[in-house]
A and B are shown apart, each in its own frame.
Chain A
Amino acid sequence: MYLHADNLDDTADIARVIARFLRTGDIVVLAGEMGSGKTAFTKSAAAALGVTESVTSPTFNLVHTYAGDAIKVHHVDLYRLSRTDEIEDLTIDELARSGVVLVEWGDVGDDVIGDHLEVRVAVGEDDDERDFALRPVGRRWDARWEKLRGALAGHMVDDWSGL
């Protein structure tokens, strides 16, 4: 599924809509270049899940955990990791047992991360424009996929226009 955001508000809205579909055990893999807005996306998603603390980049600390309204939000960053065993040591699947997990640079850990929703984001032509490509990996999203498409219909486009 391809989405387009004209501005920061659109991006925040896409994050909020996706967040509403998240439940304990879900892993969202965020992929995209530096500065594409992966942390900003997580901020909006976490706020929608009831996180009131300020969500800061987990690049150096690797994992930040926040309490949402009814769910824990684990914010993970694989930017500094490259080896599979390092990524395995983060026990992302185990984190997911106690809440939702959003993994920045998660695409480098594709092989060791179980079923997840991949959100790829790219900067558009204008500095504030973003293009999104959403892809379910595994069967976990089968039952929710059409509903998610419906909820995001206002942002949907036919093609991936990202870089």
Chain B
Amino acid sequence: MIPPPRVDESTVVLGIETSCDETAASIVMGGTDVLSSVVSSQIDAHAKFGGVVPEIASRAHLELIRPVINEALDTAGVDPERIDAVAVTIGPGLIGALLVGVAVAKATAFALDRPLVAVNHLEAHLYAALLDDPNLEFPAVVLLVSGGNTLLLSMDAPGSYHLLGATIDDAAGEAFDKIARFLNIGYPGGPAIDRAARRGNPRSVDFPRAMLHDGYDFSFSGLKTAVMNHVRKNSDVASDDVAASFEAAVVDVLATKLMRAARDTGARSVVLGGGVAANTLLRSEVDRLARAEGFRVALPSRAMCTDNAAMIAAAGWYRLRDHGPSGLEIGAVPNLALVADTVRTNRAAPGRDHR
């Protein structure tokens, strides 16, 4: 194994991400200084696929990964030899998509004779807020809401975190997407609901807030069904009002649980992440409630909320510093869990008492 390099403010990490809808690469120095962050939809090669990257198609990632990495190097003005380590998402995600990133990362690390670092995509989302606000105060609670995930975590320090709760059925972003399609108000669903809700009355329908006072887990499947049943029975209802009332129910549950978690864990900061963190009402509600109770608030920019490779490089920097490199024998792990990783991470952080 390659001996661990020095890991400090000048350490340059190439991050590679192919687990999701985007092929992405980024150059980050010192864990927080983003020199470049390229996602495939920004570059010309994207046009080849008619504007839609079929995220499950590993061949799309395969065709895009080299141009995306080259663009990341060019934009950063960094020579490949300047890269100190290569960080890559190994899961969770689809095996075919993950394998592209893992294979390219291994080959790059081997060719440059640099260490390789395996990164959990979900853990990486926790570092996105640090990229926008390197002075984030810990402990923090993080609400990670996207199409595929709704997770509530507490974080004592970079690399030390644990899962408080998660959705037991649909993710919040999925509910936005499906209700938008059901109401026929446009795509993608998140921004469409956001726009419609600004025009509607959030108090026109009192939709259920599942498990509002019950633990840290979430459930949005019943809300989705309630919205559809309401529209089927009231065909004259205004879709702006339905969108606003639906959004109010989702945000109410998310914000209530996030704030309760912040109080219960003695957090100093409240952090949003994931694509749904771009939602106007969620941002304003979390900002308002958190400030009222004296918490610091971190609302990452949209580019940092959504999938990107800068957060992979950042997570890789911390992982390299705290745990050293991964071996070249690593493989893609489609079902990589956050929880199992957390246990190891917490054990490796002595002196952190968080029971």
Residues of B147-169 whose CB lies within 8 A of A: 147-148, 166-169
Q: Is the CB of B229 within 8 A of A127?
A: yes
Q: Is the CB of B335 within 8 A of A65?
A: yes
Please report which residues of chain A, range 131-158, place their CB below 8 angstroms from some CB of chain B when the two chains form the complex: none
**A21 CA / B310 CA spacing, docked (Å):** 47
Say how far A64's CB is from chain B's closest CB, in angstroms: 8
Does A60 lie within 8 Å of B56, measured CB to CB? no
Verify B169–A59 contact, CB threshold 8 A. Answer: no
The distance from the CB of B161 to the nearest CB of chain A, in whole angstroms, is: 20
Most-contacted residue by chain B among A35, A54, A62, A64 (CB, 10 A): A35
**A60 to B275, alpha carbons, bound, how many Å?**
12
Please report whether the interface of chain A is mostly helix, strand, loop or mixed according to DSSP. Answer: loop
C-alpha spacing A65/B95, complex, angstroms: 12
A59 to B94, CA, bound (A): 13
Interface residue A111 (Cβ < 8 Å from any Cβ of B): no
In the assembled complex, B202 has its CB within 8 A of some CB on chain A: no
In the complex, what distance in Å separates the CA atom of A57 from the CA atom of B56? 17
**Are A40 and B221 neighbours in the complex by a CB distance under 8 Å?**
yes
**Residue among A61, A63, A86 with the highest chain B CB neighbour number at 10 A:** A61
Chain A interface residue count, CB cutoff 8 Å, equals 23
Query: Which of the residues A35, A39, A63 comes within 8 Å of B334, measured between beta carbons?
Result: A63
By a CB distance below 8 angstroms, the chain B residues around A40 are: 221
User: A61 near B148 (CB under 8 angstroms)?
Assistant: yes
Which parts of A71-111 form the interface with B (CB within 8 Å)?
A: 81, 83, 85-86, 89-91
A91 to B97, alpha carbons, bound, how many Å?
Answer: 13
Supply 12 A–B pairs (Cβ within 8 Å), ascending by A.
Answer: A34-B228, A35-B225, A39-B169, A56-B170, A56-B171, A60-B147, A60-B174, A61-B148, A63-B334, A85-B54, A89-B58, A90-B94
Q: Can you list the 4 inter-chain pairs with the closest CB atoms, starting with the nearest?
A: A60-B148, A60-B147, A35-B225, A57-B170
